[in-house]
Chain A
Amino acid sequence: MKRRDSIKTIILGSIGASLTMKSCITQEDEILLNQVWEYNYGRTSEELKWDYKVLTGKFFSNNELAAIDKIANIILPPNENGNIKDAGVVELFEIIAKDFSTPAHNEYGEKVLRRGLIVFDEICNNRFNKNLLDCSEAEIKIVFDKIAYNDNKDEDLQEAIRLFAVYRGMVLTGYFTSEIGIKELGYKGNIPNVWDGVPPEILKDYSVSYDKEWIDKCVDQSKRNEIAEWDEDGNLIT
């Protein structure tokens, strides 16, 4: 069976009742199936069922998502390297809210992520008589200046400070696990290559060097394709 068909079977099987009641797959179902199909990362059938659950349904209201978008863009404003939208940060909030829903997660979506929006709104209302979404960027920054730093010991703000740290963490982790974020970070790996030690100019930068005795025992990459053979004392001879 082709992967697409097997995914369909697994997912339709798992939500059997609700879908088989319908005589056919609706266009909406088709879109959802496509969404799961987009993520091709070696899932077991149990995991596919979980992904389907996580990628379907709606946790945050559109207003809440708009607030998250606004917060995320102030935490990490767009620049020439990349922005929140292209990094899929708001989508990640929605997915994590549904994904961190095992008993061990202790209602993370409700008690942490949604709670954050409620608490930020409360502070905005106290200060400006309106919800965060209706505040200007300058007004929101006045609020964030109070809750974004760990050195603020104001007891009334400790919950907000904790929750803001989660929002900041989510925004940055979402950004730096995205394609543009990883490019900005400069990470160069995750591709087949041949490691032959720290580049000489880097060694120089740090005033470190390889011991000759150590390096003489290391792999000669020009001979990596020759099948290994040893003498009887275990000395490599190829």
Chain B
Amino acid sequence: MEIIKSKKEYDVIVVGSGAGGGMATKILSDAGISVALVESGPYFDPANPEQQTQLKWPWESPRRGAGTNRAFGDFHMSYGDWSLDGEPYSSVEGTSFKWWRSRMLGGRTNHWGRISLRFGPRDFKSKDFDGLGENWPISYEDVKPYYDKLDKLVGVYGTKENMFNEPDGFFLPPPKPRLHELFYIKGARKSNVKVMPSRLSVLTKRINNERGICFYCGQCDRSCSVYGDFSSSSCLVIPSLKGGKVDLYVNSMVNEVMTDNNGRATGVSFINKENGRDYKIKGKIVVLAASACATARILLNSKSKAHPNGLGNSSNLVGKYLHDTTGAGRGVFIPELMNRKTYNEDGVGGMHVYSPWWLDSRKLDFPRGYHIEVGGGMSLPQYGIGWNPNEFNKFFGLRTGGYGDSLRNDVKKYYGSTVYLSGRGEAIPLKENYCEIDNDTKDKYGVPVLKFRYKWSDYELKQVKHMHDTFEEIAYNMGGIPLGTKPTKKDNYGISVPGEIIHEVGTTRMGNDPKTSVVNKYERLHDVDNVYVVDAAPFVSQADKNPTWTIMALSMRTSEYIISELKKKNV
């Protein structure tokens, strides 16, 4: 097969344009470094009316927004979800992992919840507290300056709370709570659960003249057309393209990092998805940011004489210590919120209040904490609304079901009366949870795919059991009735399937010892001095904090390190 080679040698090739890759592209190109940004999906700009879903009504979709093509519904802004045509993956029997892939410029940052939490001092050194897992080789103090810069560059709202493990930052002011959130505040306080304004990267106030301000449509998951929320594409990549130092390759699936006889990286090879042809481009440095599992796959598929085991894999740890956030949730019906007077309470695209971890794990039967997210309100109808129009009649001893004019009033009566509580917790990373190459299966581009092996341990099961106890207590204390039945041991306490929370991290973990880790504290492979990983793969542990803010802070830090190495001509 003909392989098309470009003569140009870039200073840096960045693979993937999500949180980590977008940040690296911005920091490197701003410093005058030439960058090839290689993205597996198409160009995407939420301001492009042809791609925009923001402010669309359900009837503008023939299926009224149902999730046939996009797992979270038609208007959700992710090209790709837990399954992609022609790109399978599997799990070892008796285990299960769901792998989310957003194939587009900006990757998953176009659809995420914008929850932007710093890791705290304890989160980098958890082993010191409970003896489990491993400490990071860096501390909060190492990352703090980058979190600070990130807050100002990207924007995040929140409040100063002076909590040891929930560090404050440079916050924009938060929006006022919605009605159901006032009910949550009341219930949480009565249950002695800390509650405070959420921290989301949504611009409640202008941070520069390039981006618009939030106009409160509640649709951050559709990616904002005025860039009022943070997406890597709209806030990092698209501005970087204007600087003239970045060549963007879209629809380009990287399958391998190429190396020379000494084992150093010389560039990457990729398949152009539009014409099916193979390309090779050269770079002095390769920065991988394809997402934790895709990065592991590229490394493991990059076999050579110098790296017979896959690139950077002399430790045999590439793909190991894969871990996702734990998740569990419960709906709560609030009778007091029946028959609501309607008004616009869309707010930002997510919660205005939440509960950070508030307990001391030493007094509990599980080691790591979780936070609670709050959803609900009179939200934009979508396919599914009114399906069981009067099921809450059962709480009043009334008949459910039926037909006729009264159903109209049933739907209106119960609209906006449900609150959803979701727990998001920290898992203990285990070597036994991993992804590896499945040599028997290739994707439609001919590249070997991934096989996963992931099982929760008792630590996670006990944690979600505790979540459910908390949900019930808060539910009653906010005057509500928890919906459905509380899951028990038999159904693993309703814990999410690994991968479902879409926070998978850990596949090239960071450390000082090349035998027990894959990258060093600057996210560079121990085995090769010109390959870096800036997605969530280097995470040693992931706290109960959503990973994006830490991915970006570390990517910024690594990018500055790369700049200094290039200046010193160490590369």
Contacts and interface: CB of A to CB of B under 8 A. Distances in A.
Interface of A: 3, 39-42, 44, 46-47, 50-51, 54-55, 74-77, 79, 81, 88, 92, 95-96, 99-100, 102, 105, 144, 148-151, 165, 168-169, 172-179, 181-182, 184-199, 202-203, 205-206, 208, 210, 214-215, 217-220, 223-228, 230, 234-236, 238
Contact of A190 (B55, B185, B387): B55
Interface string B388-430: 1100000000011111110110011001000000000000000
Given A169-B386, A217-B159, A225-B213, 11 more contacts: A39-B60, A50-B69, A99-B63, A177-B59, A179-B57, A187-B342, A189-B345, A191-B344, A195-B175, A202-B179, A218-B174
Interface string B166-186: 001111111111110011011
Interchain residue pairs A-B with the least CB separation, the first 7? A172-B386, A197-B176, A186-B342, A192-B215, A189-B346, A219-B173, A177-B58
Contact of B205 (A179, A185, A224): A224
B385 interface: yes
A103 to B, nearest CB: 10
A184 B50 CA distance: 30
A235 to B, nearest CB: 8
B66 interface: yes
A136 to B, nearest CB: 16
Contacts of A51: 62
10 contacts: A41-B75, A44-B42, A149-B399, A151-B400, A177-B58, A177-B59, A178-B59, A188-B342, A194-B215, A195-B175
B447 interface: no
Given A100-B68, A198-B176, A187 B401 contact: no
A176 to B, nearest CB: 5
B176 A224 contact: no
Interface stretch (B13-21, B285-293, B375-383): B375-383
Contact of B389 (A168, A208, A214, A224): A168
Contacts of B346: 189-190, 193, 195
Given A99-B68, A175-B386, A177-B385, A188 B343 contact: yes
Bin chain B's interface residue count.
35 or more
B94 interface: no
Nearest to A235: B160
B515 interface: no
Nearest to B216: A195
Contact of B381 (A99, A177, A195, A202): A177
Contacts of B480: none
A150 B400 CA distance: 6
A185 to B, nearest CB: 6
Given A177-B382, A191-B344, A217-B159, A236 B401 contact: no
Interface string B43-59: 00000001111011111
B538 interface: no
A100 B62 CA distance: 12
Interface in B465-494: none
Nearest to A71: B403
B106 to A, nearest CB: 14
A234 B400 contact: no
Contacts of A181: 381
Given A77-B404, A179-B57, A217 B172 contact: no
A196 B176 contact: yes
A182 to B, nearest CB: 6
Interface string B61-91: 1111110110000110001000001000000
A178 B186 CA distance: 35
Nearest to A192: B215
A228 B215 CA distance: 17
Given A172-B411, A210-B177, A179 B59 contact: yes
B384 interface: yes
Contacts of A74: 403-404
B444 interface: no
Interface string B327-346: 00000000010000111111
A157 B175 CA distance: 51
Contacts of A148: 401-403
Contacts of A225: 205-206, 213
Nearest to A88: B59
A149 B348 CA distance: 39
